[in-house]
Amino acid sequence: MKARIKITLKPGVLDPQGKAIQHALSGLGVAGVNDVRQGKYIEVDLAETGEAAARAQVEKICKDLLANTVIENYAYELVP
């Protein structure tokens, strides 16, 4: 199964990179951008074919390595 994982900053955590992107957008003349937050997208291709087992694996991978849960949330979807 493939896991498509999104890692995002928790609300309230400072995101200067998001701010820099917002700034650049206004420099490009894009109007009406209220806020920009930058995150990470990671694809993990698992040998596991059972959904429950794959889910457990992905939870562990996210908690142990992919996300720093002090400042980041993670969300994922599993596709065959």
Contact criterion met (CB below 8 Å) for 80 and 3: no
- x-or-dash string of contact with other proteins, 50-79, rule CB under 8 A: --------------xxx-x-xx--------
- Residue 34 φ then ψ, to 5°: -80, -35
- Site membership for other proteins, residue 11 (CB under 8 A): no
Minimum Å gap between C-beta 48 and other proteins is 21
Q: 41 - beta bridge partners?
A: 6
Give Rg (Cα) of the chain: 16
Which residue's CB is nearer to other proteins, number 13 or number 50? 13
Which residue's CB is nearer to other proteins, number 20 or number 75? 20
